[in-house]
Structure 1
């Protein structure tokens, strides 16, 4: 979080120094405080409620903030409401971010562009409440969260426990960081299986393919989980 604040602070400083304008969700106490510290930077405060009843193809409640921001920017520039709604609803992600994909055997929720502890928790919380079609199963495929430094082991252990809450789902974990976390858990939740490399998971999926399941696929970009889609 401290690194994110530094990065966003640099953006705010640039806007303030160059006559720019920031759009800030009024419900975000951290960003609103940072914006007020940088007066006279021009700021448009908007409510996350702008996303209410706006149809979209983005997965997860966590994307509500993105929809609200899009609506706020559109309104600021005088775009007609029906055009804003059409634009948001017309966007269908194809970049492994909040993307739903139907394969011949499964329904995938692809969010394998990046991963950190907060985005993992948001994705897992969203997946936990989703119910697959009648007779379908659930599975979670998670890849390592990279570049966490000294926090890596504890954060990966925490994610294992979060994922294992979904007792309906098979939990397949990929990467050395998850492997270390699994070795340190006693007992390992019964629905969790760990694979130190993506290749080992690929071989497992070839032997015991998943079928008829709703599957969340999420991990850091460096793990390359998008390469699994052909096996799912």
Structure 2
């Protein structure tokens, strides 16, 4: 090996090392960026799914609220245990927000929003069970009324006969359900509205508006979501 070759060897080794480190660094940055893009894509999908499910839950609640208010208004002269009929509405068991996919909210410091989503989901599930219990109780009440030959009678004019036809325990149960359903319908609309808007606003801070699902009362007429609570404030 001549003198020139001996002189060039350390430089060649140095250049090779620099090139290797640079390549490794570039690969590291590239992988980190790919991970970031994938996480952002996954968070967008999770957020959109949550908005969609929350929109459907919101729409179900709006329809429930409007129907309950209409029936209670039409039957306001009836005893409270006789005001509601078995409902045709069905809150779906599969409408469940995947909270595990939304843990990125905690990483963003959105603990309040995460808690609100948990609360809305729990209330939706609880209302579904409450409606099922009320439906069963209403069916049992109507069976008693039918057996007493009061199917075509006026509950207001023949109130004493209706009172005698239905079991006392069942009447008490229906009265409690009436109160609980009224309170839900009156007070919980804002929970869906504020939580849905908060989630949508958060998604908008990281994504384009065209990438985000619209939050709306899915399945319900738009005006029903703005309908004020009109029942007598002295009632439950």
Q: Give the shorter-chain TM-score range.
A: under 0.3
- Greater strand share, structure number: 1
Higher Cα Rg: structure 1 or 2? 2
Higher relative contact order (CA 8 A, sep 6+): 2
TM-score by length of 2: 0.21
- Greater helix share, structure number: 2
